[in-house]
Structure 1
Amino acid sequence: MPLHLTKIAFGAKSFSELERRIAGRGAIALTTRNRPTRHEECIGGSLYWIINHAIVARSPIIGFEKTQDGRWDIVLEGKLIRVHQQAKRAHQGWRYLTEDKAPRDVAEGEDIGDALPGKLAMKLERLGLV
């Protein structure tokens, strides 16, 4: 079972904005100072994108490559797969996400309706209402 990563989609205000940023690109390289300790487990997993305090999509992880300046690139497929929105606090860098905690993909033609904003969903979840 692969391990996943989560990351803030910095500057993206919506799923469609992130989709426009990624659309039509081949592989995407996200540069990080340190390679994840469990990087081998992440290959075949996905990087889950967080927008407005909610996980909204994922991009499959192809691998990890060292850059010339000593940093690391997290290499992703250039596609964005929409997932059922799940509240997630903002954080810096990346964090691990296990398969059992990862939101499921939105099926082809499935209507997900209007999603609650991430902060509101977290508050309702804390109160046991969602």
Structure 2
Amino acid sequence: MTINLIKLCVGADRVDDLVDWQQRLLRMSEGTELEGHPHHTTRMFPKRRDELLAGGSIYWVIAGQIQARQRILDLREVQTNDGRKCMIVLDPELHRTRLIARKPFQGWRYLDVKDAPADLEGGEGGEDLPIRAELAELGLL
């Protein structure tokens, strides 16, 4: 069985902000074992590891809307000055999704496959237009 994660993309107002952040991570990881794979480090290690690695994705909430997802490739335990953390290794391919409003929350949450938004099809309004969020909030998308 597959499960997903949902996470706020703090500091991002648009999907392009997430893309820029991950491009910086990719440049910093050149020559390391993470080369070519963006990652996100979080304090809590998911207990449902096997379900996440069975095809799960992380869904990014940007400006109050789920707007994109990336497939989770690995979960690694890393030791930092603050203690044990979880590094979520991601597929570099970012998929834009249909918009679903989400209220703010801390950390990450599990997201059932049945509750995850569908990916946008090619040319289906995938451009990062601020009006998309407003139209979705009004139920017009």
TM-score by length of 2: 0.77
Mind listing any 5+ residue stretches in structure 2 that lack a counterpart? 27-35
Shift of 1:23: 4.1
Q: How many pairs are equivalent?
A: 124
Partners in 2 of 1:5 and 1:59 — Cα distance?
10
Dislocated runs of 4+, deviation >4 Å: none
Aligned to 1:41: 51
Shift of 1:4: 0.5
RMSD: 2.4
Identity of aligned residues (%): 35
Pick which of 104-113 and 81-90 moved more: 104-113
- Residues 1-130 of structure 1: pairs in structure 2 closer than 5 A: 1-23=1-23, 25=26, 26-43=36-53, 44-69=55-80, 70-111=84-125, 114-117=131-134, 121=137
Shift of 1:111: 2.7
Mind listing any 5+ residue stretches in structure 1 that lack a counterpart? none
1:4, 1:98 within 8 Å by CA — same for their partners in 2?
Answer: yes
Letter in 2 for 1:48: Y
Pick which of 17-26 and 75-84 moved more: 17-26
TM-score by length of 1: 0.82
